[in-house]
Amino acid sequence: MKDKILKALKKNKKGEISLEELYSTFNNIERKKIRDMVSKLVKKNKLIKKKEKFFLPEKLGFFKVLVTKDCNGFIIAEKLKDSTKVLILKKFSKGALCGDVAFALKTVYRNTGEKHLEEAKIEKIIEETKDSFTGIVIKKQGKFYLKPDSFSKSLFKIKKSDEKGLSVYDKVVVKIFKRSVKYQEIICTILKNCKTSLKASNCADAIALSLGVSFSFEDSIIKEAKKLKEKITKKDFEKREDLTEKTIFTIDGITAKDLDDAVSIEKFKDHYILGVHIADVSHFVKPFGIVDQEAKKRGTSIYYANKVVPMLPNELSCDLCSLNPNEKKLSFSVILKLDLTGKVLDFKLKKTIISSKIKGVYEEINDILEKKENSLYFEKYKPVLEKIEIMHELYLILKNNKIKRNAVEIITKESIIKLDENEKTISVEEKKSGIAEEIIEEFMILANTAVATFAIEKKLPFIYRVHEAPKSEKVFALKELLKKLQIPSSELNPPIKPYVLSNILKEYKDTKLFSILNINILRSMEKAEYKETPIGHFGLALKKYTHFTSPIRRYPDLLIHRILSEYIKNSDLDSLNLKYKKYVKKAAKSSSKAEKKAISIERSCVDCFKAEFLKDRIGEKFKGEISSIIDRGIFVLLENTVEGFIGLRELGNEFIFSDNLKFVSKDKKKSYEIGQKVEVIVKNVNVSLGKIDFSFA
């Protein structure tokens, strides 16, 4: 009946139908059933009722939009089908909020000052956002109001019963309690008061909580994790290859507690044997149990400043599954045989028992590689010095191979945030990546590639780490940029190959153009994600790739371990497909979404700590370089990775935005370009929003 009603309307030129017409169409069906079906279609927004007639929304000119941004006096939405931006004046918005899905109708209203945006008015909100969001508490005429951070430009009323204990400038997590077409009449309810917004750690917690992060685990999950540790017996160690006598050790950051990978190496006359040993988390976390489902929900561990929000409870992540030194641990090992040119000759996947000999630290091993016997850490690493030298030797071969296969090596800067005992930011530094970090990275890439190769050969239901080539429009935009910079661009055509971008970065690495090329090539790239099909990794220039090496902190790795374990045990492909074929697709999608959310949280939180670091440094001068330029102003990155913005007002009227590349003075005597070294003054800081304003010194 539903299909016939919709089909009849699509055939009808006007796209309208009345109940009487429907009664005659379905004359052998009770009228009540017809009315009930029409009511369902109206509720589901498949039909619109007007003057006792029912219409298809598209026949009335309606289209679905998602509200994405609230500006002063208008909101911006995107068409759900093609992501075209649509502008809606607030008087035609019906109180729509960011995250709402609505029916919109084109209008001819202008006078907004905004160009290149299709204008519309909202006819009906069909899906109200249930998302929570953050804001700060302010007081106006003796009453408390919420000033949202980004959800809306309007002030919202706060539910009367939630006002107890509030203070001005408290950072709060809220959700909408009562809607209204008048924004000033909207009421929100407070879910969590994180206290003063002048403290970065409070703001970071609020950001994470608003996006659904849980800092703790339910008692039932912790209880289950403890039970897993208590239940471990000799049987768990059976039917595994015992590698406890081998020289195997971990290498991680100094603060790491969740150690999920260890390495071993041997060199022979004509080959290397590299072992990558990963914590066998799937042995303990059983499929579809409460711990597994919580891990899937979280998708990934989240790290910012001094905080870790783990995917698995500490009982597992830092104890039972962590490859702590001098403890017998269950592991899943990839044993690779490589010739002296770094080519993989053979590999095996094995269930093993290991005992890490040393808890290696990146900074310490870098010191060993640089200073040898003069290093302060010489005695600690004496038992594994020979192994470190062989690892370094193999790494240099692998690094050279990576360059030869034209992996796209974009330079990005990460930060180290240090807090005092009161969780106040006392320093922000650039995270320096040394040889030890790169050694482990190359070894993990080898293991991940081997596992992907195995899964493809055996046709397993699987999750792959994929990175697609840049989209055509981004390639053409990059080509236009190169033309403006007078850089040859004849090879820059879709479908683009990794070597084209790699060669550009190599050729201009030591020139003043490198910064602008680096950032624009980064912008042209797609985001890496998880998929059930092996389409390869563009950035690494690899046809086969997955994530296998971090099952403590990434759900795809945990699921991959489980699938491989079951296959190694009984090689029953039909059983695996029945159990996991649909599941891997869902898990890949949810894991990609969780990763995206985690990255957003980490960046936003770190921005708050960086702002806090400069809060007491208003008026001070810092050296930096222009990191990005947009039509609204200039971003400057300081030497310690703190980034701030210089708006158009600061630049003054004499500068014009030119070629989407730079700001040039009207007399053309001065310009500001990406990569240019500058000195700036800290002008304004907003810890709550993680925003910093500079002016040129």
The per-residue pLDDT for range 374-389, each reduced to its tens digit, is: 999 999 999 999 999 9
Pairing of strands 53-55, 464-466: unpaired
Q: Rounded to whole angstroms, how far apart are CA atoms 50 and 411?
A: 58
Name 7's Cβ contacts closer than 8 Å, sequence gap at least 6: none
Q: Rounded to whole angstroms, how far apart are CA atoms 349 and 329?
A: 17
Q: Which two tokens stand for residue 639?
A: 């030497």
Superfamily of domain 617-696: Nucleic acid-binding proteins (2.40.50.140)
Instruction: Pick out the chain residues at pLDDT < 70.
Output: 13, 108-116
Q: In 3D, which of 106, 113, 80 has the Cα closest to residue 92? A: 106
Cβ-in-10-Å burial (0-12, 13-18, 19+) of 473 comes to: exposed
Residue 109: predicted pLDDT: 54
Cβ-in-10-Å burial (0-12, 13-18, 19+) of 307 comes to: middle
Q: For the domain bounded by 61-127, which CATH number is listed?
A: 2.40.50.140
Q: What is the pLDDT of residues 602-616, one digit of tens each?
A: 999 999 999 999 999
As its CATH architecture, domain 2-59 has Orthogonal Bundle (1.10)
Contact 35, 18 (CB under 8 A): no
- Which value, to the nearest 10 degrees, does the dihedral of the CA atoms of residues 620, 622, 626, 628 take? -60
Q: State CA 140 to chain mean position distance.
A: 37
622: left (phi over 0), alpha (psi -120 to 50) or beta: beta
Residue 114: predicted pLDDT: 47
Residue 40's φ and ψ, nearest 5 degrees, are -60, -45
* Preceding peptide of 495 cis, ω within 30°: yes
pTM greater than the 0.85 cutoff: yes
Fold of 133-197: OB fold (Dihydrolipoamide Acetyltransferase, E2P) (2.40.50)
The neighbour count for residue 240, using CB atoms within 10 Å, is 18
Q: Which two tokens stand for residue 65?
A: 């939009």
Q: Rounded to whole angstroms, how far apart are CA atoms 52 and 97?
A: 30
> CA 450, 453, 457: angle at the middle one, nearest 5?
140
Q: State CA 644 to chain mean position distance.
A: 22
Residue 647: predicted pLDDT: 95
Distances (CA, A) of 620 to 639, 675, 684, 694: 14, 22, 11, 10
| Cα dihedral sign, 442-444-447-449 | negative
Q: Which two tokens stand for residue 448?
A: 């991940």
- The one-character DSSP state at 315 is I
Q: Rounded to whole angstroms, how far apart are CA atoms 594 and 612?
A: 27
Q: Rounded to whole angstroms, how far apart are CA atoms 291 and 312?
A: 7
Distances (CA, A) of 36 to 1, 33, 450: 11, 5, 57
